[in-house]
Every structure is written in C-alpha cells, then in structure tokens.
Chains A and B, each alone.
Chain A
Amino acid sequence: MTEMVKAIIDGVEIEVEKGTTILDAARKVNIDIPTLCKHPDVEASAACGICVVKIEGRPNMVRSCCTPLDNGMNVITKDPEIIGVRRTVIELILSNHPNECLTCMRSGHCELQDLASEFGMRETNLPSLVKKKEKDESTKAIVLDPSKCVHCGRCVEVCQNQQNVHALSFLGRGLPTQIAAAGGIDLADSPCIKCGQCSAHCPTGAITEYDETQKVWDMIMENEDHVVVQIAPAVRVAIGEEFGYPIGTNLTGKLYSALRMMGFDKVFDTNFGADLTIMEEGSEFVQRFTKGTAPLPLVTSCCPAWVDLMEKYHPDMIENFSTCKSPHEMVGALTKTYYAEKMGIDPAKIKVVSIMPCTAKKYEISRDDSMSSSGFQDVDVVLTTRELARMIKQAGIKFRDLEEVEADNPLGEYTGAGTIFGYTGGVMTAALRSAYALITNEELPDDVIDFKPIAGLEGVKEAEVEIQGKTVKIAVAHGTGNVEKVMEKVRSARENGEEPPYHFIEVMACRGGCVAGGGQPRVISSDVPRPRGINDEIRMRRAKGLMGEDKDAKLRRSHQNPSISKLYDDYLDAPLSKKSHELLHTHYVARSTYKR
C-alpha cells in the first residue's frame, strides 16, 4: 500500500500520497498556488519562485513546486507577506521582460501577463534590464524570441526529455542565459523537428508559430487565385477554446461557415485525406503482412515531426516507413490535379491552404520534391489553429452565431475513421478497421471497432488483433521521447534475426497526438486549470470530441467513403496504383542532426 502523509494546508486537513508536492496537494483541496515555471508535463525546476509558501516552524519560505508535503506540516499558502514576496518575484521578472504586450503575439493568452494582471502590477520601481536579442525565424515554423524568455525552462525540458530531440538548450548562465540551439546556431540547422511542443509549453511570447496569416489574406484578395482551404481533424475540436466553447466541442460545421465567409473559394476537409491515407497505408500494410513485399513492422508517416526525427535519428528504419504522404498533402496534390481537371481550373491559379494543429506541417510542405507532385507546390501555406482563430477574429466573424454547413465536394466527405486521425491511437484504429476488411472481405463488427487498448495517454500502447487466425501485433507511441524504446525493440529483433516484435506501429510526435499539437490554442480561461497550458485533461477532452464524432458517424470505415470510391474509379484506379504512387506517396533520406 502506498504510504500516506497527513498535513494541514490553509487550515484544511489533507491526506495525500507520500512524495506529493505542496503545490499538487494544495490543488487537490482547491487551493490555487500561482506558478510560472511548473507545468504538469515537466519536472519541477524551481526556476521562477512564485509558488513560495510558509511552513509553520520554518524560518524561510519554500517553493511549493519542489517541496513534498510531510506529516504534520502546517502550510500557509497566502498571507500579505507571501503575496508581497510573489509580487517582488513578478516585478523582478518584469524588469527583464520587454513591455511589448500590445504588439506581442501572445497577448491575451500569456501566462506572465495573466499573473501580472492578477497581482495588479501597475508600476515598477526596478530599472529595466531588457536587452533586445535577435529572433530566430530560421525554421519558418517556430519563432524563438529570446528577449521574451523568462528562463522557466519548460521548453528545454520538453525538447530534451519529453521529446528526446535535444534541439533547444540553455546557453550561458545568469542574466544573459538564452534559449537556443547548441553553439548558438540557427534552430533550422539543429536537430529541431518543428513539433512546436516548446511553443505549446512556453508561458510567454518567447516561442510562437511562424505567422503567415498576411500571406493568406493576400491570396484571398488576389482575384485571379482560386483559393482552397482544408482543415485537419484536430482543429475542429480545439478552435472553440478561442471563442469561449468548452474544451473539446466539435465545431466542424461552423468552421466551414467561417472559412467561406473569410473568402476561401472551396472548403475541403483533411479528413477526406485521412480516409485516403488509410486506403493507401492500409493496402501497404496488407501487402507487407500477407505477401511480405517489404519488411515489417510498417510505421505510420502522417506526422511530419516524426518523419523529420526518423530521418535524423532513425534512418535505418526508412524501409519500414509507410511511403504515404500525410493526409493534407494528399488533398493538396489531388486539388491541383484531380479537382483542377474536373473543374477545368488552371492548377497554376489554385492555392491550397491547410489549417493544421501543427507547426511541423509548415516545414513539411517544402521538405522535398515529392511535395510538388502536381507540378506545383501541392500545399501553398499551412496555418496553425491559432493563426486561423486570429484571422476569424480579424474578419469580425461572430463565430458563435454561424450556421453549420457542409464541406465542398469532391474532397470534403469523410468517415468516422478519418476524424480519429487527430489523437494517439486513432490512425492505427482507422487502419485496422480497413485492413481487416481488405484481408477478410468482411467488416469488423461494430462492438470491437474502437480498439480500447490503444486509446488513452499511456506513452507506448501495445495490442494484438486477430485477423483470419493470424495475430497482428501493434504498437502506438506518442511524444517522441517514447519512440526510442519501440524502435530499439524493432532494431534488436532485426539484428538478432528474430521475428519483429510488432507488425504495425503508429507514431505521433506530440503527447496525445495532433489534438495537443504545437499549433493548437493556448487560451487562458477559467475552464483551463492551472498550471496553464496544455495538459492531459485538455488532451483527453479534445480527443473525446473526435471520438464522439466518430461514434455518431453513419460511416465509420474509410473504405466506405463514397467520395473515395469515386476518386479511385474516376482517377486513381486502385490503392498503390502508378498514379497513386505519383501523387500520394513520398520517399525518405537520412539527414544529419546538425547541418554544420
């Protein structure tokens, strides 16, 4: 049995597991201790000093984020003296933070601004130590603005330990400490995979997405252009947070409306591309599994941050990688070929904008030649959910009053299998539904369609599925820090000439999958518990939004999508056909982790 400790916090008796910090224990009894650096995804670093509390009988205040509650402690979390210390800490932080809220991308969603506001910081007596430091926009996906960094360490911790990428680090010490890649080189020349988890965890405007909203407004304004937009699965269950909806509300129909009002000529859905990915990737799997055409396990490739990581850190896995492009790239390629031909539009005049929960997608659209399979760059601009929300607000659209409408044809129809691409385990679930049908010519019964063992937030999830008397072993990993052990297992089996431990592996770079991608909203509202920012509760609530849409869908298997059948009949012929390979598949190369 776990050992418990009993103590008192602000007069409230509490019993918690031994080892629980004062900060976490206090939250259990609804006592909110403010903090800037502590985030549930990272170890306490005791960097900021805002979470100080008093313990009766001790001379000094302690940082509650890294002090475990002990038997008999009498903790005081608030009195005028504690509040005074916290104000001083905030004042010190502000003395080294540019006073640029009005023009800061993070304004309104900033944890530091929120704290300063809560503590009523009106004027400061400290001299400003702010030094303008150069921004790093080299990745064209993520922007580092070290001037706005408060040295909380969340991004470094996430990049190094949660993601195991080790692109970001602290350079120097003391006041001049700076977040940067090793040696102060450009982030684009570092191992950075553009997943944007640093930006998802940054409390201030120091790490943001690379803003391309103006580029899209310019496209919309250009009368000659036929501007097509598509939205990724995870966007529909997160954008609502920007407009005051409860976390996880599915707003697909209103989103389509908003996009039309903004002036896009056609509104497609990446979920269609997800269904198509399943047809291609599912067929790839079936070929490898039943005919041994290429090595197993097959590894999913829809996540561009994961693709980048694999090319840099696991290039020996290239032949295990699905050659399928990601869903929005498929939609982009088909928009400028299939759709253009069908409608008689010059593809040179078509612009494709993808709304993604992701910063790595900004990198993906020009990662190699196969991203221009239509003869033009297949996707012209990627906007994150956050950028789209800003554009909707700029356009003065009253989101909550919008009508719910349908997407356009022929690249807008989707099944429940397409929509679940947005969370960890979803791609695998969707693939198994169709792989089962492809192998057996029968449909997987509805009661086993959900594959419960691979839902949820366990870092690596394993399961076995029986298909025609054969066992399919699957693994699902999310958060790139969890990938290493899965790859190691595969590698060691291969080196020892053993059967592969898995047949099919799904990887998503971000913990929880795309619902918690680096481009998702970072809204601060009373609905979002502290510590602010993405956390497991938000991840699950957004995922449940997608699960709900799948459950309610009339069609829940990608191969049942009528628009997909029509696409193959009219244009592509069959999955893995020559034309499919030209437009929907890509290739990989080993890349060095550092470009210098």
Chain B
Amino acid sequence: MANSSPNSGTAMAVKKWKKKRGSLIMALHEIQDIKGYVPWEDAQEVAVGMGVPLARIYEVLTFYNYFKLEAPGKAVISVCLGTACHLKGNDEVLKEFEKELGVKEGTSTEDKLFHLQSVRCVGCCGLAPVVVINGKTYGKVTPSNVRSMIEEWQNNFANETDVA
C-alpha cells in the first residue's frame, strides 16, 4: 500500500491531476521532476490517488525511456544520439563514457555521482556531437574530451562538499 506518511510532492501531483482524464503521464512527470525518478512507493500513491492500477502505471513508466525507476546519479550525462550527433560519431563518445565510468548506458555509477543516458536530439544539431550534463551543453565533443568533462563535475561535487 502507499506510504502512509504524506509524500508532499507526489500528493500534490496526484491532487492536481487526478480529476483530469488522461493525465497520468503529467503526474508522473512532476514526480520525476521533483525526485529525479519515480520511486515504487510514489507510483503506488499515484495508483491509489488517481485510481489507476499499478500495473498500468508501470506499463507507462517502462514504455517511455524518459522515466527512471531508480535514483539517478547526481550528474545526469545525456549523450545525444540524434541523427546529426550519431553521424558525427557520438556513439564513440558514449562508449568512452561507459568505459571511463564503468557503467552501461541507462544506469548510474555505484557512488551515485553519475547517471549515463542516451537521448534523441536535444535541438542544437549545429553543435553536434552534443553532450548535456545537468543542463550544461557541451558541443563538438570527441572521446578525448570525456575524461575532462567527468573531472569537471567531480570537482564541482567536491567543492559542494567542502562548502557544506
């Protein structure tokens, strides 16, 4: 059964969307925006709150690549494999990320610092091949840039910890 403690973000998303037919995806989007993924307990809360069987919710969650079922790493690395980026060799960049981070596409590193995913076109094909990390766009990337991009974010996180 759903979490008995009110899960405020999720509860609000359910409240906002439950009256509108066909808005399950909107509610799930909001939960993922807040939490970075859709936890099992939250999916159950949506099921109860919106009156949609959990089985149907997971059909939606697993159909769309966009939804994550597990907490992603702090830095989400999106390697574009849209037509332009693909033709310009971004698959090699993705492979390099997989090698450097020791994870497969679609998964996170064990320390939960990095989540690696491929996306289809981020809308700036002029910069191809493109990688986006937590909203920051890197253009004309080559496999040799990968190491420094990772280090940049490792340093960001290290500084954050120092401040804290």
- Interface residues of chain A, those whose CB is within 8 Å of chain B, are 160, 166-173, 181-183, 190-191, 592-594, 596
What 10 A-B pairs are tightest by C-beta distance, nearest first? A166-B53, A169-B55, A182-B58, A182-B54, A166-B55, A171-B62, A182-B55, A172-B62, A173-B63, A169-B59
A450 shortest CB reach to chain B, Å: 39
Say whether A160 contacts B62, CB under 8 Å.
Answer: no
Residues of A within 8 A of B55 (CB): 160, 166-169, 181-182, 190-191
**B66 interface hit (Cβ, 8 Å):** no
Contact flags B70-113 to A (C-beta < 8 A → 1, else 0): 00000000000000000000000000000000000000000000
Say whether B1 contacts A166, CB under 8 Å.
Answer: no
**B40 interface hit (Cβ, 8 Å):** yes
Contact flags B137-162 to A (C-beta < 8 A → 1, else 0): 00000000000000000000000000
Contact flags B39-53 to A (C-beta < 8 A → 1, else 0): 010011000000001
Q: Nearest CB to that of B69 among chain A residues?
A: A183
Residues of B within 8 A of A171 (CB): 58-59, 62
Q: Nearest CB to that of A168 among chain B residues?
A: B55
Can you list 8 pairs linking A and B with CB atoms under 8 Å apart?
Answer: A166-B53, A167-B55, A169-B56, A171-B59, A182-B54, A183-B69, A594-B1, A594-B44
Q: Nearest CB to that of B53 among chain A residues?
A: A166
Given A183-B40, A183-B43, A183-B69: A594 in contact with B54 (beta carbons within 8 A): yes
CA distance A74 to B146 in the complex (A): 61
**B11 interface hit (Cβ, 8 Å):** no
CA distance A561 to B94 in the complex (A): 76
Say whether B57 contacts A182, CB under 8 Å.
Answer: yes
Residues of B within 8 A of A169 (CB): 55-56, 58-59
Residues of B within 8 A of A173 (CB): 62-63
Q: Nearest CB to that of B63 among chain A residues?
A: A173
Residues of B within 8 A of A167 (CB): 55
Say whether A170 contacts B40, CB under 8 Å.
Answer: no
Say whether A596 contacts B40, CB under 8 Å.
Answer: yes
Residues of A within 8 A of B57 (CB): 182
Residues of B within 8 A of A183 (CB): 40, 43, 54, 58, 69
Given A594-B1, A594-B44: A170 in contact with B53 (beta carbons within 8 A): no
B107 shortest CB reach to chain A, Å: 15
Say whether B53 contacts A160, CB under 8 Å.
Answer: yes
Q: Nearest CB to that of A173 among chain B residues?
A: B63
CA distance A171 to B55 in the complex (A): 9
CA distance A179 to B61 in the complex (A): 14
A52 shortest CB reach to chain B, Å: 26
CA distance A167 to B58 in the complex (A): 11
B161 shortest CB reach to chain A, Å: 33
CA distance A541 to B59 in the complex (A): 37
A344 shortest CB reach to chain B, Å: 50
A166 partner, pick from B40, B43, B54, B62, beta carbons under 8 A: B54
A169-B55, A183-B69 known, 10 other contacts, Cβ within 8 Å = A160-B56, A166-B53, A166-B56, A169-B59, A173-B63, A183-B40, A183-B43, A593-B1, A594-B1, A594-B44
B41 shortest CB reach to chain A, Å: 9
Say whether A592 contacts B1, CB under 8 Å.
Answer: yes
Interface centre among A160, A168, A183, A592 (most CB of B within 10 A): A183
CA distance A539 to B59 in the complex (A): 32
Residues of A within 8 A of B40 (CB): 183, 596
Q: Nearest CB to that of B55 among chain A residues?
A: A169
Say whether A170 contacts B43, CB under 8 Å.
Answer: no
CA distance A498 to B58 in the complex (A): 39
CA distance A559 to B55 in the complex (A): 45
Residues of B within 8 A of A172 (CB): 62-63
Contact flags B11-55 to A (C-beta < 8 A → 1, else 0): 000000000000000000000000000001001100000000111
B47 shortest CB reach to chain A, Å: 8
CA distance A195 to B58 in the complex (A): 22
A206 shortest CB reach to chain B, Å: 17
B59 partner, pick from A170, A191, A593, beta carbons under 8 A: A170
B64 shortest CB reach to chain A, Å: 8
Q: Nearest CB to that of A166 among chain B residues?
A: B53
CA distance A182 to B63 in the complex (A): 12
CA distance A182 to B43 in the complex (A): 10
Residues of A within 8 A of B69 (CB): 183
CA distance A596 to B1 in the complex (A): 8
CA distance A74 to B59 in the complex (A): 39
CA distance A167 to B56 in the complex (A): 10
B128 shortest CB reach to chain A, Å: 25
CA distance A594 to B58 in the complex (A): 13
Q: Nearest CB to that of A164 among chain B residues?
A: B53
CA distance A24 to B149 in the complex (A): 61
B17 shortest CB reach to chain A, Å: 19
Q: Nearest CB to that of B60 among chain A residues?
A: A169
CA distance A523 to B55 in the complex (A): 31
B40 shortest CB reach to chain A, Å: 6
B156 shortest CB reach to chain A, Å: 33
Residues of B within 8 A of A596 (CB): 40
A263 shortest CB reach to chain B, Å: 43
CA distance A191 to B53 in the complex (A): 10
Residues of A within 8 A of B43 (CB): 182-183
Residues of A within 8 A of B54 (CB): 166, 182-183, 593-594
Q: Nearest CB to that of B41 among chain A residues?
A: A596
Residues of A within 8 A of B44 (CB): 594
Q: Nearest CB to that of B65 among chain A residues?
A: A173
Q: Nearest CB to that of B64 among chain A residues?
A: A173
